[in-house]
Amino acid sequence: MLKFVKSHMETIAGIEIYPIISLTIFFTFFVVLFWWVFTAKREYIRNVSKLPLDN
């Protein structure tokens, strides 16, 4: 089954760009998330962490 899919995908012109695009999106998302975590204000993090217990 995998050989069929692989051989079929190799015949499509321009398909090699999709893994590059998905890697770029994945990498960008986690870099932005990492940046947000380290720049978030401590007071905001404390308030958000207490939300589930405020019933």
Q: Which two tokens stand for residue 36?
A: 């947000």
Q: What's residue 8's pLDDT?
A: 79
Q: What's residue 1's pLDDT?
A: 67
User: Which residues, 6+ apart, have CB-to-CB distance to 9 below 8 Å?
Assistant: 15
Q: What's residue 51's pLDDT?
A: 86
Residue 54, in any domain of the structure: yes
Q: 1-55 pLDDT, tens per residue?
A: 677 777 877 888 888 898 899 999 999 999 999 999 999 899 988 888 888 877 6
Q: 37-52 pLDDT, tens per residue?
A: 999 899 988 888 888 8
Give yes or no for a contact between 27 and 34, defined as CB atoms under 8 angstroms apart: no
Indicate the number of domains in the chain: 1
Burial of 18 (0-12, 13-18, 19+ CB in 10 A): exposed
User: Which residues, 6+ apart, have CB-to-CB distance to 15 below 8 Å?
Assistant: 9
Residue 1, in any domain of the structure: no
Q: Which domain holds residue 55?
A: 18-55
